[in-house]
Structures are given as C-alpha cells and as structure tokens.
Amino acid sequence: MDYPSGGFTPGIAARLRLADGGRVFIKGVPAEDRTAGMYRAEAAVGPHLPSGVAPALLWTVETGGWLVLGFEDVDGTTPEIAPGSAGLGAVLATVGELGGLLTPCPAGQTGPFSVLAGTLAGCWERLAEGGLDGWDQEHAPELVALDDPAALVRATEGDTLLHCDLRADNMLLSDGRVRVIDWSWFARGAAWVDAAFFLPQLMLAGHAAASAEHLLAEQVPAWREAPEDGVLAFAAAITGYWAWQQRTGPGGALGAYRGRAAAAGREWIAHRTGWNTPVPVTL
C-alpha cells in the first residue's frame, strides 16, 4: 500500500496492490465527517464522466463507519504549468477539450452553477463593511458593483458539466495525457467557467494575467466565446471570495493559498479593467 501526499481534505488516499498483480487507487473518509458529502458527490458524478476525462470510478463502499471510493489507478504525476514547463501544453489541451466532451451535461441530475455562484458572489460587500485598505479600498465601490450575484448567475448559465475546481493538483499527467480528478464540486453551467477557474492557477504558477488570457484564448474555444461582463463578474466574485475566506477562515497552508489566490485575482481584475496594478503582497 502506497500513500500519496497532497490535498486539503482529511481522510485516506492510497494505492492498493492486489493479489492478482493489479492496482487500484482508493480514497476514503469517515462517513460522518463534514467532508463526506464531497466524496458522495464524486461517487455520484463518476459513472457519468466520459472515458479518458478522469480515472474510472470502479466502486463505492460504505462500511465500518467509512466511505471509500475505488478508482482506476493511473500512474501519473501532477503537471507543471509554469511558463515553458513540459506539461503546460497537455494541460491546456485538456482544458480546451472539456467543453466539447462534457456538453450536453452527461449527468442528468446535476445542479446548476448558480448554487455555487451564490456562495462565491457578494463577498466584496461584506469585506467593505469590515474595512479595506490599499488597492481594495481604492476600488471598493467598483468591486462591490462588479461582484453582482445576479449578473454572475445569468452569465454562467449553460449545459456543460463543470469541474469547478480546476487546478494542476487536480490533474494527473500520464503518457502525455491529462486526466482531471476530484470532481466534488461539479455543476452544470457555461462551458467557459472551468477555464475561468483555471486562469488564476496559471497566474499563481508564474504567468502574467495577459499571458494567461492569451493561452486560454489560443487553446480553449469556449473562452473565446465567453462574455466580457460575465468573465469580469466571475473574476470579481472569486477574488472577493478568496479574500473573505482568508480574512475569516483558518490560517496555515489553506489560508496562505487563499491569500496568494486573492492577489492573483486582483491582478486579473486590474488587467481586465485597466485599473492600476495592485502592489504584490508577500505571503
């Protein structure tokens, strides 16, 4: 039994070597844990994912107080997405293919992205009520106006199965192919939304906002068709959400990540609006 590392959730993740020489990857969590719903969501969507998009879900077991999912074992690595990295091309190709492979939504009972949009949007108003400084304070009225839940819901309506947490550490690169893992936050919405989730990840890996936008425009057909006001509403919402979670949530690795992500989001908003670039914050 091998134990992979990484991730932000509790539980167990292991590669099992079977008596017949085969292997299976398992992930599990106590059935009453607060994160068990994420595992149940992944178990629900797994059977509907087309072959090659993700490692195949083989079985789900709930026994002895544990919920365990068994997957096809893919001998892969987390791809690098920094400028010039070897895995970047394969990752961008996969992001570009998802919209076509997952439209129409193959999972019939998938809830709309509007539910998640309601969680993401509206945080800038709460942040402003608690006090802002620097770039945030300078642009507070505009940020609150851009962070409009109704506008975000309208712009993100669609019939594509979305991952909603597209990051390099939710991908496996194997033999030049990328498979997307950890589908706990899936939803139904516009095909460009997953690219919007991924753009700040490119920035966190070292790409400037303009470069990240250019890469997506080259490789992701849905991104070229994304509404300008919708993308800006998304950028404002997710940046405000990260900033709010950094302010009110736990510290540690997750808090530091949210701080870096919010900083990337501010740079993205500045690029889209033409506002002055925020001063980088070291975390």
Taking 70 as the threshold, does the pLDDT of residue 65 lie above it? yes
Residue 7: other Cβ atoms inside 10 A: 12
Residue 207 lies in a domain: yes
Q: Tell me: the pLDDT tens digits for 118-170? A: 999 999 999 999 999 999 999 999 999 999 999 999 999 999 999 999 999 99
What pLDDT shows up at residue 191? 98
Cα angle for residues 131, 117, 165 (degrees, 5° grid): 100
Q: Per-residue pLDDT averaged across 8-25, rounded?
A: 86
Domain match, 95 and 234 both: yes
Where residue 282 falls among pLDDT bands split at 50, 70, 90? very low
Retrieve residue 167's tokens.
């990051």
Give the CATH number, domain containing residue 35. 3.30.200.20
Retrieve residue 262's tokens.
């919010």
Place of tokens 């990540």: 257
Q: Among 31, 48, 72, give the residue marking a domain's end.
A: 72
Give the CATH number, domain containing residue 241. 3.90.1200.10
Residue 233 lies in a domain: yes
Domain match, 184 and 47 both: no
Write out the DSSP string of the chain. Answer: -B-----SS-SEEEEEEPTTS-EEEEEEEETTSTTHHHHHHHHHHGGGSPBTTBPPEEEEEEETTEEEEEEE----BPPP-STT-TTHHHHHHHHHHHHHHT-S-SSTTPPBTHHHHHHHTTHHHHHHHH---HHHHHTHHHHHHH--HHHHHHHT--SEEE-S---GGGEEEETTEEEE---TT-EEE-TTHHHHHHHHHHHHTT--HHHHHHHHHHH-HHHHTS-HHHHHHHHHHHHHHHHHHHHHS--HHHHHHHHHHHHHHHHHHHHHHTPPPPPP---
Taking 90 as the threshold, does the pLDDT of residue 94 lie above it? yes
Domain match, 132 and 190 both: yes
Tell me how many domains the chain contains. 2
Domain match, 174 and 61 both: no
Domain match, 25 and 124 both: no
Q: Tell me: the pLDDT tens digits for 225-276? A: 999 999 999 999 999 999 999 999 998 999 999 999 999 999 999 999 999 9
Taking 70 as the threshold, does the pLDDT of residue 7 lie above it? no
What pLDDT shows up at residue 141? 98
Quote the percentage of the chain above a pLDDT of 90. Answer: 90
Domain match, 92 and 47 both: no
Per the structure, the complete domain to which residue 17 belongs is given by 12-72
Domain match, 227 and 123 both: yes
Interatomic CA distance for residues 83 and 202, integer angstroms: 9
Domain match, 53 and 186 both: no
Taking 50 as the threshold, does the pLDDT of residue 3 lie above it? no
Residue 78 lies in a domain: no
What are the b/e assignments for 116-132, b being 16+ CB within 10 Å? bbeebbbbbeebbeeeb
Retrieve residue 261's tokens.
């992500």
Residue 57 lies in a domain: yes
What pLDDT shows up at residue 198? 99
- Kindly report the average pLDDT of the chain as a whole number: 94
Residue 165 lies in a domain: yes
Q: Per-residue pLDDT averaged across 92-112, rounded?
A: 97
Residue 6 lies in a domain: no
The helix-helix angle for 228-248 and 252-273 (nearest 10°) equals 150
Cα angle for residues 175, 43, 170 (degrees, 5° grid): 40
Domain match, 42 and 109 both: no
Domain match, 145 and 176 both: yes
Interatomic CA distance for residues 2 and 5, integer angstroms: 10
Give the least confident one: 19-23, 192-196, 278-282. Answer: 278-282
Quick check: 267 and 202 in contact, CB under 8 A? no
What pLDDT shows up at residue 87? 95
Q: Among 72, 96, 124, give the residue marking a domain's end.
A: 72
pTM, rounded to two decimals:
0.93
Domain match, 22 and 135 both: no
Where residue 90 falls among pLDDT bands split at 50, 70, 90? very high
Q: Among 40, 72, 104, give the residue marking a domain's end.
A: 72
What pLDDT shows up at residue 4? 46
Q: Per-residue pLDDT averaged across 29-51, rounded?
A: 96
What pLDDT shows up at residue 11? 83
Amino acid, single-letter form, for residue 86? A
What pLDDT shows up at residue 280? 62
Domain match, 201 and 138 both: yes
Residue 172 lies in a domain: yes
Residue 4 lies in a domain: no
Where residue 21 falls among pLDDT bands split at 50, 70, 90? confident
